[in-house]
Chain A
């Protein structure tokens, strides 16, 4: 059994594809480094991430697929599920078929990649909808997220385009990293979350900026007032707005 070990980066995964061609060895499993269980016995091959190799695989994808479809393996990979082999098989299939196969939904790998891609994209879209900023005393707008997939890289550009004239932080509490926009550019950060309640995502009262609390109350009031009680339909609400998001949503929290 051939076990390929990579460093849990997308470049690493692309390098794996390259090396597999290079070594003429087909992996049976591809696992991230720290997930390796020693009980797995077999031929272990450690992949050393190489941007040049990764680039070559990526360029190959770009040649064979349309621009939109090149994102498919990347977004599927962001799901952080055990799909390395799927991505591998998909990329090999793309390379080894003389024509473009991105729309062959009758093929199991193409369909699976597309469906994963949809899951990740959907989660990202919902985060755009349900993420809530709170203004801090430093005039930074802070938001907590804890998505099931690692969607932060996908959503940054949306917020960069939208909130150009305010400082903001989006912080993934689950994965312990975030991004900070300082009016010029966005950079990755890690924070000591001293002023954030990780259960509710809320910043503590003394870190809240002026009138932040008032606007939270106003938003809650508004949320209650636009509801038409005669049409109550909680299932429909939950279809559109799954409960896992409620935790960090201002309108669904008890304000103290």
Chain B
């Protein structure tokens, strides 16, 4: 156990990297006394890895020793990898020193399960406590709630952390049982429910007494692995929608399954992670959170999987052609949000700008509307050219082929040949 700190950091960062969440948003803990740090409500990313994911928090494991043997996890007991464990002081020093150099927004601490879930959770809570009380740290702390840990200990951690998360990983209980025999849904959903109640309670409390301690102010999040088990997108999105509406989760993450366990027969053999499917799931997730879509509008029994070729909003619009074209100068905000090619920012700008005068195609373009897609679905003070009466199938092909038009290849200048016959 006398690994030097650089080795430990490499091992324990490597073990934590498959957890997608790295957001530092949702908390505005501020530095009143002369402590260190300050949370920014919107969150801040501090770097981006070669795979394009944001690094906002120091995302590490307390230890990668684990008593569980979940097939999809790199830290499972039966996997032959180097193991390490941090001490509380090491994590605290790393966090504080990284934070002071503006490398990170805070700490995301997870862990393999050692001894039992309660003991592990206790360790995580201690790190958070040390940071908040001894170091007067006001940065962001995201802790993993260990499945199966008793709620008392999770609750203790929740008063020091900004966000708690518990990963469901596999969206159906039956498949979870198969891939992670030591885990069950009860051990995950029950604490989630209790945390939700705790958060509501604490909010009430803080409304009455401003000084009372905040409990998980940035809410909960969870993660699904996509492609490790045969669930359809419909099922995944329905579960996600339930988590947003009933459990009041802040975020659901989708992680395309990476073959971390080649010999296990329980897992599908895939060569590449399903990145496009993952991307479409996130788009659908955005539709539910920011575009006021219901999950049943995005996927239904006829279309249980998201279209990989086009985004879910366009796909919805093509399935509901009778709702279009929409007049951007008169329609409600909700309807404008639903036009393919118009995002939240453009929609708001349209609503504001049209109070002063009618908007034309030209102005819409300047505002930032993607006319390549939007032109099939709108009318405005000046009609966009052509495209009336196109069938959905035709629109689909048009948009797809337009997207595929390759950037003009630059031809090398060639000396003209002259023939003197």
- Using CB atoms and an 8 Å cutoff, list the residues of chain A in contact with chain B: 101, 103-107, 111, 125, 128-135, 141, 143, 158, 161-166, 211, 215, 217-219, 221-237, 239-241, 249-251
Contacts and interface: CB of A to CB of B under 8 A. Distances in A.
Contacts of A133: 100-102
A253 to B, nearest CB: 12
Interface of B: 5-6, 9-10, 13-14, 16-18, 30-31, 34-38, 40, 44-55, 58-59, 94, 97-98, 100-103, 256, 258, 272-273, 275, 349, 352-357, 359, 363, 366-367
B47 A241 contact: yes
Contacts of A229: 50-51
A103 B353 contact: yes
Contact of A106 (B13, B103, B353): B353
A165 B36 contact: yes
B31 A164 contact: yes
Contacts, number: 153
A132 B273 CA distance: 33
A211 to B, nearest CB: 8
A227 B50 contact: yes
B34 A165 contact: yes
A141 B99 CA distance: 12
Given A105-B367, A161-B30, A163-B36, A231 B275 contact: yes
B6 A240 contact: no
A227 B30 contact: no
B46 A164 contact: no
Contacts of B13: 221-222, 225-226
A249 B47 contact: yes
A246 to B, nearest CB: 10
A111 B366 contact: yes
7 contacts: A106-B354, A129-B46, A132-B103, A165-B34, A215-B97, A219-B98, A225-B14
Nearest to A131: B102
Contact of B55 (A143, A223, A232): A223
A237 B34 contact: no
A251 B47 contact: yes
B100 A227 contact: no
Nearest to B271: A230
B48 A240 contact: yes
A227 B51 contact: yes
A101 B352 CA distance: 10
Contacts of A239: 52
A164 B51 CA distance: 34
Contacts of B52: 231, 233-237, 239-240
Contacts of A228: 17-18, 49, 51, 53, 258
B103 A219 contact: yes
B9 A221 contact: yes
Contacts of B103: 132, 219, 250
Contact of B100 (A101, A128, A141, A250): A141
A221 B103 CA distance: 13
Contacts of B14: 225-226
A250 B47 CA distance: 10
Contacts of B18: 228
A218 B409 CA distance: 44
Nearest to A99: B356
A215 B101 contact: yes
A222 B51 CA distance: 14
Contacts of B366: 105, 111
Contacts of A161: 30-31, 38
Nearest to B349: A105
A165 B30 CA distance: 14
Contact of A219 (B48, B54, B101, B355): B101
A238 to B, nearest CB: 8
A222 B104 CA distance: 11
A114 to B, nearest CB: 9
Identify the 5 closest CB pairs spanning chains A and B, nearest first.
Answer: A236-B52, A103-B352, A105-B353, A225-B13, A231-B51
Nearest to B360: A106
A78 to B, nearest CB: 20
A111 B353 CA distance: 10
B100 A233 contact: no
Contact of A101 (B6, B349, B356): B356
